[in-house]
Amino acid sequence: MRFTVAAVQAAPVYLDVFASLAKAEGLIAEAAARGARLVVFPETWLPGYPAWLDVCRDVNLWDAPAVKQVYRRLVENSVVVPGPVTDALSAAARAHGVVLNMSVHERVAAGPGRGTLYNTMLTFDADGRLAHVHRKLMPTYTERLIWGQGDGQSVQAVATAVGRVGGLICWEHWMPPARQRLHESGEDVHIAAWPQVKEMNLVASRHYAFEGRCFVVACGAIMHVRDLPPELEPMPELAAGKPDAMLLRGGSVIIGPDGTVLAGPIFDEEVILTAEIDLARITEEQMTLDVTGHYARPDVFGPGRRQ
């Protein structure tokens, strides 16, 4: 099967979920018009990656009023699954006949865990069905201030109109058991959602493609200093008077099952990065390496290993 994939490298309207959703709908339409059948967005694109956790002062102070105000806005602009935002994304996927991978801040609206936020990846099939929901297993470092831990039941690829699609979020790519579980679920295309695809994130994405013998769409966002919450004070090194300085530089890239870069990386601009892929290439590359088949050693590493 041959088809075009698209990585949407853009800035949301930070901390405004419905304005960001409107922008997403336009970008999905544009990607589909360019022939894309799979459209991918960066980590927590709705309503934007919380870079302020790392570049603003006093975010870890106990009971800081400004930080609590920003967190409240984040909660108010997070996505309930299912809810009005997922309904709109479903409609966009169905209208354009695309498989859509959108990463969001998810808010639990009722029941146990009410109010908890998760870093969540949503996959919609081309008929609009919400095919998969994956919550990031382990928020990294400062992220633990705002997100809960995923339960791990979602670490698997799912069947879609373009083949089996799976994904991991950011530093999940350095969790070997998570990678192996996804490999065993038979991915054709892997989504690597990042805040930006800087050098080590590109290394992880290319390694994943080579190890898993699958295509990888690694998607990063754009963010400027001016996008930081006005309630918070940037670190001194983010000099005042430079609102256009880049915080997240994109770097999106599309990678083949031998680790070869097919498109990108592109930095410092909003762009829809596309590439045509051929799933038959996966079988060709499995001849030399297949970590779930002829290159696996379940007798050594699996439940039945010798003592």
Q: Indicate which CATH number applies to the domain containing 249.
A: 3.60.110.10
Residue 147 lies in a domain: yes
pLDDT band at 65 (very low <50, low <70, confident <90, very high): very high
Distance, in Å, from the CA atom of 237 to the CA atom of 54, rounded to the nearest integer, reads 12
pLDDT band at 240 (very low <50, low <70, confident <90, very high): low
Q: Are 218 and 205 in contact (CB under 8 A)?
A: yes
The residue length of the chain stands at 307
**Average pLDDT rounded to a whole number, residues 78-99:** 97
Residue 235 lies in a domain: yes
Residue 77 lies in a domain: yes
238, pLDDT greater than 80: no
Residue % of the chain over a pLDDT of 90: 82
Task: Tell me which of 43, 106, 187, 285 is the catalytic residue.
Answer: 43
Please state which of the ranges 27-31, 77-81, 118-122, 150-154 shows the lowest mean pLDDT.
Answer: 150-154
SS3 content of the chain, % helix, strand, coil (to 5): 30, 30, 40
Q: What is the pTM of this model?
A: 0.93
Residue 289 lies in a domain: no
Could you tell me which of 37, 14, 31 has the C-alpha nearest to residue 223? 14
User: Helices 199-212 and 176-184 sit at what angle, rounded to 10 degrees?
Assistant: 40
Residue 192 lies in a domain: yes
What is residue 245's predicted lDDT score, i.e. its pLDDT? 84
What is residue 60's predicted lDDT score, i.e. its pLDDT? 86
Distance, in Å, from the CA atom of 292 to the CA atom of 295, rounded to the nearest integer, reads 7
Residue 287 lies in a domain: no
User: Domain tally for the chain?
Assistant: 1
305, pLDDT greater than 80: no
Q: Are 130 and 112 in contact (CB under 8 A)?
A: no
Residue % of the chain over a pLDDT of 70: 97
Residue 64 lies in a domain: yes
59, pLDDT greater than 90: no
Which residue type is seen at 164? R
211 flagged as catalytic = no
Query: What domain range includes position 76?
Result: 2-280
What is residue 307's predicted lDDT score, i.e. its pLDDT? 45
Residue 204 lies in a domain: yes
**Average pLDDT rounded to a whole number, residues 233-241:** 70
